[in-house]
Amino acid sequence: QQQVKQSPQSLIVQKGGISIINCAYENTAFDYFPWYQQFPGKGPALLIAIRPDVSEKKEGRFTISFNKSAKQFSLHIMDSQPGDSATYFCAATPVTNSGGSNYKLTFGKGTLLTVNP
């Protein structure tokens, strides 16, 4: 059972465009949602994260939108640059009602983003 579903699997955008990656989750106990960026041969790097008490969080060119009722969240990359070309992963974990989950992350399968110059 895939608890976090990520789409699209791959995405190509032009420089300066907006990249949008979507994730949906099933476990209603999830209440911490980070996004990670991974370059080939490197470990995932934390980009931005959100808790359900807000519907949107923005850090620079990166914005998370969160829809609790739909159990969906998305990453928007504004003014996409070739240097943003990487694989992006959404993740989730229960915090408030962790039930001993130890905050282990459940990841989506990733989105390979290519930004053309």
Give me 63's structure tokens: 């914005």
| CB closer to another protein, 15 vs 42 | 42
Assess 96 for contact with another protein (CB under 8 A): no
Between residue 51 and residue 70, which ones bind another protein under the rule CB under 8 A? none
Q: Measured from the CB atom, is 41 or 83 closer to another protein?
A: 41
The phi and psi torsions of 109 (rounded to 5 degrees) equal -85, -10
Amino acid found at 24: A
The site for another protein, by CB under 8 A, has a size of: 26
Q: Does 44 bind another protein (CB under 8 A)?
A: yes
Confirm or reject binding of residue 94 to another protein (CB under 8 A).
Answer: no
User: Which residue ranges make up the site for another protein (CB under 8 A)?
Assistant: 4, 6, 32, 34, 36, 41-46, 49, 89, 91, 93, 95, 100, 102-110
